[in-house]
Amino acid sequence: MRGKGEGGLSRVPADESKPLRYWQGSVELANPTGRAKDRRRKYVRSKHKPTAIRKLKEAQEELRKKGNIRTDSISVGDWFAYWLENYARPNLRPAAYASYRSTVNSRIVPSLGATMRLDKVTPAIVQRLRRDIIDAGLSSTYARNAHHILASSLHDAAGEGRIPMNPAEYVTPPRKANRKLDVMSLEEAIALIDAIKERDDRARWATSLLTGARRGEVIGIEQDRIIESDDVLDLSWQLQRITWSHGCSDVSDSEGRYPCGFKRAASCEEKHLNVPADHEYRHIEGGLYFTRPKSRAGWRIIPLVPPLRETLEAHQERMQPNPHGLLFTTPAGKPRDPDWDSKQWVQLMRATFGPDRAIRLHDVRHTTVDLLYAAGVPEDLIQEIVGHSTRSMTRSYKSRGDMIRLRGAMEQFSALLTQPTARTREIDA
């Protein structure tokens, strides 16, 4: 006789004179055809009767909530390959997708085990991911990001009915590390401006410092987006490198055929370009594209302050034209690849401040915010100039310092920018 709540549970074998192998329960699933041969059941098994009862109740509850239960199993490796292609790639911007794919393939799948069944992943296994990342010498912030990617993927797996619940929901995410940025002081910003006065790429670095624009926004400025009549700079596009999903990029064989089989780059691009459907982009050349900034706050038009306006005007007078209408190019007149541009910045930092400084190009935005605060620019305008979505984000970029010293440094900084360079003095003479 079955006890209460044991409906659908049976002993295997049924003959109690024989040794128990396991207890088995079954749940009748949806049958779209109604034919006996298409009947589907979800089976649960355990050597321990209470465990079997619990599994049976969980399956019944899942069926009640979702209306159906998947009966097939999938490995961790296969699931994440499927998830990257069908969930991540269509919904993430190119850089974000590349970061997700790297984290999944290098950390998440190896930690969980590529051959492990997805429905066998437990909260304890989810916790192991953090330990593996920290043991590899990576930061707690990286572990936190990896945890969120894993949790998002398992949420989607639960939504498809591949697992009964998301085990990551029962694990506290790792804490974000307290990272100390190496940011230029205002005195160092002045030293940098003095150091680049004689360089051909002076205008490129001055633009980052005076606008707080991101790398892609600066190297993607087109000349016709400097609107001289209104003294403004349009930062509504940026230059990025976008990979194609199978790695074709712009490389074809001797017959002009790409690895995917297409002969025209445009056809390959349409099929394999890693961008969401609603993502705006324009092709430049090779794997370089104009793309929209990551948020609406990034679509901005900022005023051309006098030092920057004069710097850009002088740059335009001496620059050579290029087929893409870009304001900043390589010495050969080619678009500035993002990685190449960052390497130029590293070399500039080492030449100016020595090999021990590790000031990232992106962190120049912190110095820009300091300069704008020092100049007395209202906070709401600073937020618009640097493209922050909230004022709290702008405040987090502001360094602590004495305002009187900051104002004095700003005046000295502006004077340096407007001074004629040695080269200009020679021409005037």
Q: Assess whether pLDDT exceeds 50 at residue 424.
A: no
CB 297 within 8 A of CB 212: no
Q: Is-same-fold flag (76-170; 186-242+287-428)?
A: no
Angstrom CA distances, 247 to 142, 241, 250, stand at 25, 12, 9
Q: With bands split at pLDDT 50, 70 and 90, how would you rate the model's confidence at 111?
A: very high
Kindly state the tokens that stand for 253.
């064989």
- Confidence at residue 264, expressed as pLDDT on a 0 to 100 scale: 43
DSSP 174: P
The rounded distance, in Å, linking the Cα atoms of 342 and 340 is 5
The rounded distance, in Å, linking the Cα atoms of 172 and 390 is 27
* Cis omega (within 30 of 0) for bond into 13: yes
Element (H, E) at 289: strand 288-291
The CB-side HSE value for 127 (13 A sphere, CA atoms) comes to 6
Per-residue pLDDT of 17-32, as tens digits, reads 999 998 988 888 766 6
* Architecture category of domain 186-242+287-428 in CATH: Orthogonal Bundle (1.10)
List beta partners, residue 26: 43
The rounded distance, in Å, linking the Cα atoms of 22 and 424 is 90
Lowest-pLDDT range of 50-54, 190-194, 386-390: 386-390
Q: Assess whether pLDDT exceeds 90 at residue 239.
A: yes
pLDDT mean over 284-301: 75
Per-residue pLDDT of 356-395, as tens digits, reads 888 889 888 888 777 777 666 676 666 666 665 555 554 5
Q: With bands split at pLDDT 50, 70 and 90, how would you rate the model's confidence at 187?
A: confident
CB 219 within 8 A of CB 207: no
Kindly state the tokens that stand for 372.
């704008």
The rounded distance, in Å, linking the Cα atoms of 316 and 312 is 6
pTM: 0.62
Q: Assess whether pLDDT exceeds 90 at residue 305.
A: no
Amino acid at 251: V
The rounded distance, in Å, linking the Cα atoms of 353 and 362 is 17
* Architecture category of domain 76-170 in CATH: Orthogonal Bundle (1.10)
Q: Assess whether pLDDT exceeds 70 at residue 241.
A: yes
Nearest of 170, 161, 172, 89 to residue 118 by alpha carbon: 161
Lowest-pLDDT range of 325-334, 335-344, 393-402: 393-402
Kindly state the tokens that stand for 382.
């600073």
Q: Assess whether pLDDT exceeds 60 at residue 396.
A: no
The rounded distance, in Å, linking the Cα atoms of 24 and 46 is 7
Q: With bands split at pLDDT 50, 70 and 90, how would you rate the model's confidence at 276?
A: low
Nearest of 120, 102, 114 to residue 77 by alpha carbon: 114
pLDDT mean over 1-20: 75
- Tell me if residue 45 falls in helix, strand or coil: strand
pLDDT mean over 227-238: 82
Nearest of 277, 246, 242, 286 to residue 262 by alpha carbon: 246
Q: Assess whether pLDDT exceeds 50 at residue 406.
A: no
Residue 213: CB partners within 8 Å, gap ≥ 6? 207, 235, 386, 387
- Confidence at residue 142, expressed as pLDDT on a 0 to 100 scale: 94
Lowest-pLDDT range of 61-70, 112-121, 149-158: 61-70
Q: With bands split at pLDDT 50, 70 and 90, how would you rate the model's confidence at 178?
A: confident
The rounded distance, in Å, linking the Cα atoms of 78 and 80 is 6
Residue boundaries of the structural domains of the chain: 9-66, 76-170, 186-242+287-428
Nearest of 372, 410, 375, 411 to residue 394 by alpha carbon: 372
The rounded distance, in Å, linking the Cα atoms of 262 and 264 is 6
Q: Assess whether pLDDT exceeds 80 at residue 225.
A: yes
